[in-house]
Amino acid sequence: MDKPGVPLQGAYTTKAVRELVGSWRLTHQTVALVPTMGNLHQGHLSLMEIAREHADRVVCSIFVNPTQFGVGEDFESYPRSLADDEALLAEQGLVDLVFAPDDKDIYPFGVEAAVRVSVPQLHGELCAAGRPGHFEGVSSVVLRLLGIVAPDVMVLGEKDYQQLVLLRRMVRDLQLPIKVVGGSIQRERDGLAMSSRNRYLSASERRTAPKLHGELKRVREALLDGEENLRALETEASRALRAAGFDPDYVEVRRAGDLSRPNGLESAGDNLIVLAAAWLGKARLIDNLRI
């Protein structure tokens, strides 16, 4: 598609965003939001392209949200590159507005006193098991961003698949008039899913990292070949990852629609997905693959 080359604007307060979005609404323009934590890469840019296809105006939020980081996680060291991100978006020419608020604008009463939003579905499972409070922090900040921007469409990446499922559930449960669109995973040439945290990998770890995607492909191929013992496949994939140097949190096959556990009667046509999260050095890598 041709790049529209829209002039990029920046806003750093709720008031400024609402004024600009309000001016678009006066001319009946639709708005898409792509929420990010910055340190943008091609995976993020692909979401901007999808957003432009779904709306007249595109807003990209950049906010490193403290409430989704647990104790000992990388909140302080998480890469922050606002100037570079804005330059990249300006060059891409698909985003109308970058919203880069500070903590006080998102949490006016402070982080500790902030209202929290909990989505009970899958509480304590998959990524939630090893990151208590993470998804509560995600849903809380995304609901705030939706309240500020009031978009017609929100575009999220499918790499964070559990996050996508939970936020779709939140939007539907709260009756928000917002369409949630998922964008496919963008990968490096060797199959590694693009992520801001890939920069934590050492040179040797970076050579090992694509094996995570390789194990997911092996599980998918086995299922397509008729293997029915999901637990054995998951166990073997975890074992193989450990042998390669990973510390896996999980490898699991779930139903793609709601991430519920299969009942053992599914076939490949039942829309399953295999998901994994594993540590490699200082980087926690996540990936998934539809069956």
Q: Which of 41, 44, 54, 123 is catalytic?
A: 44
HSE-CB for 250 with a 13 A CA cutoff: 15
Domain that holds residue 224: 196-290
Residue 38 lies in a domain: yes
Residue 171 lies in a domain: yes
- CB under 8 Å to 10, separation ≥6 — which residues? 86, 97, 98, 100
- The pLDDT value recorded for residue 263 is 83
- Which amino acid makes up residue 111? V
Say whether both 145 and 232 belong to one domain.
no
Contact 256, 272 (CB under 8 A): yes
Mean pLDDT for back-to-back runs of 10 residues, the chain (291 residues): 70 96 97 97 97 98 95 90 96 96 96 93 86 93 98 98 97 98 98 96 98 98 94 98 98 95 66 97 97 93
Say whether both 42 and 137 belong to one domain.
yes
The residue from 127, 155, 183 where one domain ends is 183
Which of 247, 231, 233 lies closest to 280 in space, CA to CA? 247
- The pLDDT value recorded for residue 264 is 67
Say whether both 178 and 200 belong to one domain.
no
Say whether both 105 and 49 belong to one domain.
yes
Rounded to two decimals, the pTM is 0.93
> Domain of 106: which CATH number?
3.40.50.620
Say whether both 167 and 72 belong to one domain.
yes
Residue 1 lies in a domain: no
The β-bridge relationship of strands 247-255 and 31-36 is: unpaired
- The pLDDT value recorded for residue 6 is 78
Say whether both 69 and 148 belong to one domain.
yes
The residue from 131, 153, 183 where one domain ends is 183
Contact 191, 214 (CB under 8 A): yes
HSE-CB for 2 with a 13 A CA cutoff: 2
Cβ-in-10-Å burial (0-12, 13-18, 19+) of 2 comes to exposed
- The pLDDT value recorded for residue 176 is 98
Phi and psi dihedrals of 175, rounded to 5?
Answer: 55, 40
Domain count for the chain: 2
Residue 111 lies in a domain: yes
Cα separation, 8 vs 90, in Å, equals 6
> Domain of 248: which CATH number?
3.30.1300.10
Say whether both 18 and 146 belong to one domain.
yes
Which of 99, 101, 80 lies closest to 34 in space, CA to CA? 99
Say whether both 100 and 177 belong to one domain.
yes
Q: Is 213 a catalytic site residue?
A: no
Say whether both 15 and 141 belong to one domain.
yes
Residue 188 lies in a domain: no
- The number of beta carbons lying within 10 Å of the beta carbon of residue 177 is 8
Residue 2 lies in a domain: no
Say whether both 233 and 254 belong to one domain.
yes
Say whether both 83 and 129 belong to one domain.
yes
Residue 88 lies in a domain: yes
- The pLDDT value recorded for residue 101 is 96
Which of 225, 174, 199, 195 lies closest to 286 in space, CA to CA? 195
The residue from 183, 211, 238 where one domain ends is 183
- The pLDDT value recorded for residue 122 is 77
Residue 189 lies in a domain: no
